[in-house]
Every structure is written in structure tokens, then in C-alpha cells.
Structure 1
Amino acid sequence: MTRVLVVEDDPQLVRALKINLQARKFEVVEAGDGATALRLAAARTPDAILLDLGLPDMDGVEVIRGVRGRSHVPILVLSARHTSEEKIRALDAGADDYVTKPFSMDELLARLRAATRRREAPASPAGFPGIATDEFTIDLAARKVVRGERTVRLTPTEWHLLELLIARPGHLVSQRRLLLEVWGPAYSEHTNYLRVYMAQLRRKLEANPSHPRYLITEPGMGYRFEP
């Protein structure tokens, strides 16, 4: 059974989430503040985390950073904060998705299912262990990226996107295919998702993210990994 850690201090929303998740055979673990969330994330090893940013004891972004220090578990932010800056801050900290309140429960559950599918996806295509460049090395079997002497932490979504690109070096991968493979059919037109996540990958992997050497945009068409 898939275990979901719900980090939210609104009892009514927690109750609604719990009813809907349990009805779909998810196991639910609850935390009403950031400290409890970090403790349960370590002790109960959830398969996904639904996280409110406005917690009583700390900002939710601190929780994301704390979890990312030891886990790649998918984190879906639930927040009333609507600005692009807030969304980018959460995604940069390691969140996999951002759902703005109020939200459709069906949409949230679809995003949760997509996130858990990405985590369960095979680590690498058969016979393709990884790739090395002058800037970084990608070991798909170990799910590890090393840049210089430093290990680069990637979220599950970033991993899936990177895997699709490096599986066909030098070839264009269309926006539609990337969206379908990573987020699912409901997101086939959400090209803004690709812009945000490609920007994150470039910041983590490229020497000059503004002028990328490896993760190339083909405007209006898709993206290409250039070895």
C-alpha cells in the first residue's frame, strides 16, 4: 500500500485528504507542523509527501530541504501562495510539483499518482548505464550525478526528465513526449512545467545555465541532450 505523509495544519483539509486518499487505498500519515513532518519522513519512509508551505513552526520550504537532505521521495506542495517566485522557491528546494489552493481533489490525486509512478519507473533503459561529459557524470543504475567532486541531488521528476533526454543523445525529444512520459496525458499542453524543470536541471548541471552546452532548447519543438 502506498504511504502518503500529509503535512497540513488545517484539520478540515486534513480530514478531506484522508477520506479521499484512504478511499483509493492509500495509507495516510499525518503531521501538523514541520518538526513532526521531518521526524515522520525519516521514521515512516513515506512513498510521497503532500506538504503545505504555511506551517505553524517553520516555512514548508525548510521541510523540503530537510527531506531532500536524505530522501528522493516525491514532494507535492499544497499552498495558497500563488506567485511564481513562491513556486520557483519550492521547486528549487526540491519539490516535485506545486498545487495551488483551492484545488480539485481529482487533479491532486492524478498528480499524486503520476509522482508515485515516476518514483517506481525503471532506473535506466536496458543496456544504458549512464553517460559522462566534461562537466558531469550520470550513473543511471545508481541514480547518481557527480559534478566535479560533488554529488548533485535530483528530484524524481528531474531524474525522469534527464533519463528521457540522455537516452537519445543528440536527438530532439518533443515537448509533448516529455510531458506525456513525465507528467501524463492530463499535462500534455503544460509546457511551462518543462521550462521550470529544464531551468532547474541547467542550474544543477551546466557551467553556464544561461548558455547551456548540454541541455539544449529547440524553440517550439522540444529539448535535446548534446553530449
Structure 2
Amino acid sequence: MPRETILLVDDEPEIIKLIEIYLNNEGYQLLTASNGLEALSQLNANQVDLIILDGMMPFMDGFETCMKIREENDTPIIMLSAKSQDIDKITGLSIGADDYVTKPFNPLELMARIKSQLRRHKRLGSARTDNEIEIDDLVINFATHRVTVDRQEVKLTPREFGILKLLAVNRGIVLSMDKIYQEVWNEPFMVSKNTVMVHIRKLREKIEKDSQNPRYIKTVWGIGYRMENE
């Protein structure tokens, strides 16, 4: 069974070598980067389960890198920094780090924190499953109302999200425009069908690469709309 992949971002060769020994002993896969720009490149190219992020690096420091990562990624981050003041720890945690370890550090303690964060993230991931539907590159989170396509967040209006959620929950089933209106607007269908059609068109423009040849929301002529299973 493949083990988790750790991205270690640090510009000190001695630190990298030390942590690498302990990670290898625990069976983790290791990726490295020497600055924030390299770290973002690694994240774009690889599936990473946890990030160890040095606070002080050239080009882009760990704090700025952490904020950039958090714009679209919830991978656990452990900040590893020589800055040991309380304000530094508070800053690191407030911008999105999950844990903060100061240098010099005990490698065994760092390993324990890594395992703890991986367990926590796995539990949260399991809890999120019931609140998320993933259809190919489209991910819909019902709890946060967050929608992403190809990992890029898409901003939807409440009506658009309501339509998307309804179709996703009933994917594979054709829903009439009457049904969509009644469920999303929560009132009897007494208006022009154009209301639903306009919202579907706007929704497609946001989530489809080619809204004229939709990939996710299909039109069933004369009946309504259906979302594909995959």
C-alpha cells in the first residue's frame, strides 16, 4: 500500500537531510523544494498529503507561500521556523498553517506531529465525503457551497448553486423545468420556463468549458435536464 507523500520546503541542506532520514524510516514518499515558488510548482505537478514549510526562504518566504497555497488547497501545513515569538506562531496559524514547530526541533516530535496531522486530515476527509459530490473534474461541496472545476473555484449565485446541487444529487435522472423551479425556488411553478432556462445557461457558462456542448448538464429535449453520472 503506497504511503503518503510529504513535500518538504526548506533552503537548508542539513535540515532537509535530517528530516529525509526520519521520513524515509517511516516509509513516506518525499518531495523537496528550496523556496516558495518551487513549492507551488511541486503542488501543481504532484499529489501531496502534507507540507513541511520553512518560514524563512528566498524569493517567497514561508508565510507568503502558506497564504498562496491556502487560496485553493487544504493540504495540511506544518510551519517549521526559527521565528519563535508568540506573534510569529499566531501569524502562521492565522494564515492557514495547521501546526507550528520552532527550530531547533526534535525530529521525533516532528514525526509525531506529521502523523497527527495526517490522521486528522483523513478523518476530516471522510467527514467531507457525505457533503461532497465529485463528477470528473467538477467538485461540489454542499456544506461550504464551494464549487471547483479543474481545481479552480467557480462563483455561483444561490439559485445557480441550488440548481447544480439538485441535479447532482439526482444525477442520471431527468428533471423537468417544473420540478427544478419548485425545488430551487420553493414555490409552485407559475412563471415562464425561461426563468429556469436562463439560470441553466448562466450555470453552464460558469462550469462548462464549452457551454454549447455541455459536459455535465445535458438537455433532454421536451422534458428537462439531467446531470451525467461521471
TM range (shorter): 0.5 to 0.7
What is the CA–CA distance in structure 2 between the aligned matches of 1:90 and 1:5, rounded to whole Å? 18
- What does residue range 193-204 of structure 1 map to in structure 2 within 5 Å? none
- What does residue range 33-112 of structure 1 map to in structure 2 within 5 Å? 33-112=35-114
Do the aligned partners of residues 4 and 86 (structure 1) sit closer, same or farther apart at CA in structure 2, a change above 3 Å counting? same
What is the CA–CA distance in structure 1 between the aligned matches of 2:74 and 2:50, rounded to whole Å? 9
- The structural deviation recorded for 1:63 is 0.6
Letter in 2 for 1:8: D
- The structural deviation recorded for 1:62 is 0.9
Query: 1:106-138 CA distances to partner (integer Å, 9 max, x unpaired)?
Result: 110000000001111153399x96xxxxxxxxx
Do the aligned partners of residues 103 and 143 (structure 1) sit closer, same or farther apart at CA in structure 2, a change above 3 Å counting? farther
- The structural deviation recorded for 1:142 is 3.3
- The structural deviation recorded for 1:6 is 0.2
Partner of 1:124: 127
Do the aligned partners of residues 125 and 85 (structure 1) sit closer, same or farther apart at CA in structure 2, a change above 3 Å counting? closer
What is the CA–CA distance in structure 2 between the aligned matches of 1:124 and 1:6, rounded to whole Å? 27
Query: Which aligned segments of 4 or more residues in structure 1 are displaced greater than 6 angstroms?
Result: none
Query: 1:70-103 CA distances to partner (integer Å, 9 max, x unpaired)?
Result: 1110000000101111111111110000001111
Do the aligned partners of residues 67 and 18 (structure 1) sit closer, same or farther apart at CA in structure 2, a change above 3 Å counting? same
Partner of 2:215: none
What is the CA–CA distance in structure 1 between the aligned matches of 2:28 and 2:36, rounded to whole Å? 22
SS across alignment from 1:50: strand
What is the CA–CA distance in structure 1 between the aligned matches of 2:56 and 2:127, rounded to whole Å? 37
Letter in 2 for 1:22: N
What is the CA–CA distance in structure 2 between the aligned matches of 1:103 and 1:44, rounded to whole Å? 27
- What does residue range 146-185 of structure 1 map to in structure 2 within 5 Å? none
Alignment coverage as a number of residue pairs? 138
What is the CA–CA distance in structure 2 between the aligned matches of 1:82 and 1:18, rounded to whole Å? 23
TM-score, structure 1 as length reference: 0.56
Letter in 2 for 1:2: E
SS across alignment from 1:112: helix
Structure 2 residue 5 is the aligned partner of structure 1 residue 17 = no
> Do the aligned partners of 1:123 and 1:143 also contact (CA within 8 Å) in 2?
no
- The structural deviation recorded for 1:146 is 5.7
SS across alignment from 2:144: strand
SS across alignment from 1:124: helix
**Between 37-46 and 97-106, the greater mean CA deviation after superposition:** 37-46
Residue identity (%): 34
What is the CA–CA distance in structure 1 between the aligned matches of 2:79 and 2:18, rounded to whole Å? 16
What is the CA–CA distance in structure 1 between the aligned matches of 2:72 and 2:62, rounded to whole Å? 16
Q: Which residue among 14, 17, 29 is the counterpart of 1:27?
A: 29
SS across alignment from 1:35: helix
- The structural deviation recorded for 1:45 is 2.2
What is the CA–CA distance in structure 2 between the aligned matches of 1:108 and 1:87, rounded to whole Å? 16
Query: 1:149-197 CA distances to partner (integer Å, 9 max, x unpaired)?
Result: x99xxxxxxxxxxxxxxxxxxxxxxxxxxxxxxxxxxxxxxxxxxxxxx
**Between 72-81 and 37-46, the greater mean CA deviation after superposition:** 37-46
What is the CA–CA distance in structure 2 between the aligned matches of 1:56 and 1:30, rounded to whole Å? 15
What is the CA–CA distance in structure 1 between the aligned matches of 2:70 and 2:128, rounded to whole Å? 25
> Do the aligned partners of 2:35 and 2:61 also contact (CA within 8 Å) in 1?
no
